[in-house]
Chains A and B, each alone.
Chain A
Amino acid sequence: MSTFNSADMPVLQVQLDVVQQEIIYNAIPKSIPESYWKDELTDFLYPLWDTDKDKLIFFNYYTNGTYFAKRRRYIKNFKTGEYEWKEYEMEQLDSAEAIKLKDKLIEAFYLLDSIAEDDYNQQLIRMYGLQRQVSPLTVRLARNFLLDETDWALASDSPLGVEDREMYTVYRQKLRDITSTGDFTTNVEETKFPISPEFYKKLFSVENSGLGYLATPEQFIPMGRHYLKQFRDRIAQYLVLKSLTEKNYFDTLLNEYQSVQHAAAYTPESSELSAEDIEARKEWLEDLLRFVDEKQNEDGGAA
């Protein structure tokens, strides 16, 4: 009689899944960061396990010291002339090579956490780097914000006097011209914004009397990188929210307007009935009720 010991069964210890780019060690999977894959594993696998024509798909190493590897070979189909990948079980190599790969994968498994953290930090640094830059979009957002904020000044019911309205007209035109200035196209960080009429009246004209509004170069100043960076997101959020609110407000008004129109469409018909019509309808309904009563009485008697 033979006995069976489940402890003899080979259990998967380490797996390298190349397609998913992950290492599974004792049933715990971990993704392999791109940097580690390129810098470490690719070199390690080449050329014994992985070549240009023979790509390793996965490698399984079992607790009983055996292993199983699958590869894909890039071959020419001579009949069609096309190239295609064919999957096949890789031949067994020297077990020392398999152990070397297994040990490398286990080492990688423990390293992955710190590598992933490094990658994450690198990613953050890259994102921060992007955020630090002042882009044409940043300037456009700020410019659009300032234009939006001064719409009221040129409205027909604006409380401003003629002189102020002219200043705002100039101001808004200069804002629109920003994107065609040399600074904007060559060195966006140095894009100069016109000072506002309010700033001119309260500060600039006090110190520089006699100079017309936006008539001299010193009335155009860079916004300051910190301002553009700090308020870029806020301006973007504000413009999006404003646009959504306006649309919602318009839709609500439109709905209400249509329901009022709809209700109004029925009112004239009911009010068009004359007193005679109403009387005639009353009589008709009463006749109908009498007829129903008589019918009921007849049926009741017959039963």
Chain B
Amino acid sequence: MIIEGNELQVFDLVASYAQRYQCSCVYFDLVKYNALDDAKKATVNAFYAEFIDDYVLDIMKQGIFNTIKFPEVDVATLYASSWFPRINYCPDEDHYIHAYVVDAYGDIVWENIPEPLTADE
């Protein structure tokens, strides 16, 4: 009899996949993006089109897939950080797409959460 059950989180799936196939994964959460109306989506798309690779924008627009596999963690991090700006660099919350990179150990090595403030800030 099951007495306690936790819903498997997306992160667990991505981490498990990365460990199993010894790769790195860039995950981006499209739940909020998919819920936007067409006009707002167009604005967000225009914002991302300026710097994101076309194939990633296409994936976003389809709104189905949300993970990209990379053999090397450094490349995955470089790409992810050039695709998904942190929230403080987005025009508003609707433009923000939460993303992270999971390495072959199943750890998050980069995430586009706001950077901690420095001493002079």
Contacts and interface: CB of A to CB of B under 8 A. Distances in A.
B21 interface: no
Interface in A77-131: 78-79, 86, 88-92
A75 B50 CA distance: 10
B34 interface: no
Contacts of B75: 88-91
Residue of A53, A73, A78, A86 most packed against chain B (CB within 10 A): A78
Nearest to B81: A75
A89 B72 CA distance: 9
B82 A91 contact: no
Nearest to B89: A78
A78 B78 contact: no
Contacts of A75: 51, 78, 81-82
B48 to A, nearest CB: 11
Given A53-B53, A76-B82, A92 B71 contact: yes
Nearest to B71: A91
Contact of B82 (A73, A79, A90, A92): A73
Interface residues of A, number: 12
A88 B80 CA distance: 14
A288 to B, nearest CB: 84
Contacts of A73: 78-79, 82
Contact of B72 (A53, A78, A91): A91
Contacts of A53: 53
A92 B23 CA distance: 12
Given A75-B51, A76-B50, A76-B82, A89 B71 contact: no
A53 to B, nearest CB: 6
Nearest to B76: A91
Interface string B27-62: 000000000000000000000001101000000000
Contacts of B78: 73, 75, 86, 88
A128 to B, nearest CB: 46
A91 B89 contact: no
20 contacts: A53-B53, A73-B78, A73-B82, A75-B51, A75-B78, A75-B81, A75-B82, A76-B82, A78-B86, A78-B89, A86-B78, A88-B74, A88-B75, A88-B78, A89-B74, A89-B75, A91-B71, A91-B72, A91-B75, A92-B72
Interface of A: 53, 73, 75-76, 78-79, 86, 88-92
Interface of B: 50-51, 53, 70-72, 74-75, 78-79, 81-82, 85-86, 89
